[in-house]
Amino acid sequence: MARPVFDEYSGKYKNIKLDRTADGILKVQLHTAGESVLWGFGPHEELGFCFQDVSADPENKVVILTGTGEAFIDRENLGGSNVTPQFWANILQNVVRLMRANLDIEAPMIAAVNGPATIHAEQALMCDIVLAADHAYFQDAPHFPSGLVPGDGVQLVLNAVLGLNRARYFMLTGQRISAQEALALGVVNEVMPAKDLLPRAYELARMILKRAPLVVRYARPCMVAELKRQVQSHLEYAAALEGLAGVDLWPAEFE
């Protein structure tokens, strides 16, 4: 199978801007029309396919995942959908693709959380280094607080980074954790003013690239192997429960 060519996939995605430096640092930037991303079924599907392209291209040496403007992901529109078996079958495919494709990326990943991460914060927290702007905060707003089971992978990642008891409290209460609290808990690695976030991410990426190419390439698969095993074992079952419970209550609009 032919390897993907950057020029062929870099412009494919409506809600994802891809930029790559000459030394192979790929910036994956979420957006909607150049503003902070409006999350929904489209971006959810796109990001999984995008990560598949990224993972299949060995010219991506280090990946920086970030948002646009003042937020990482903090707004969403899933309104008006009814949960039918076919509808949730499509969602389940997207859920599995997104989580597995993230973990299939062999290049080290750096999250530059440029603002509030209240929706799919796990995508940032799955990265190997997590940097946060000082005004950022973390929350799982669209699941239990909005009437949904947190079953699409967020529960696995939060259990890993927060610990079981803190994660369950976080998900059931809709707790917000500030960037500084996240730093103290070990959820993020560094906190800084937003203007310094991307320069620091590129600085760390270039530090990583000083190692031998195969050392860089195969460090991440070793580090995420346990999380990958958990995703493989538990994701589809939990996402199916999320869909089952969604039949009982599917909010018309998420805030």
Task: Give the 3-state secondary structure of residue 116.
Answer: coil
Is there a catalytic annotation at residue 122? yes
**What is the C-alpha to C-alpha distance for residues 128 and 179, in angstroms, rounded to an integer?**
17
Cα(145)–Cα(223) distance, rounded to whole angstroms?
32
- Residue 38's contacts (CB-CB under 8 Å, 6 or more residues apart) are 32, 75, 76, 77
Catalytic residue among 76, 122, 236, 242: 122
Beta strands in the chain (DSSP E): 16-20, 25-30, 62-66, 109-113, 129-133, 137-138, 177-178, 190-192
| φ, ψ at 35 (rounded to 5°) | -110, 180
Compute the C-alpha angle 66/70/76, nearest 5°. Answer: 80
Residues noted as catalytic? 122
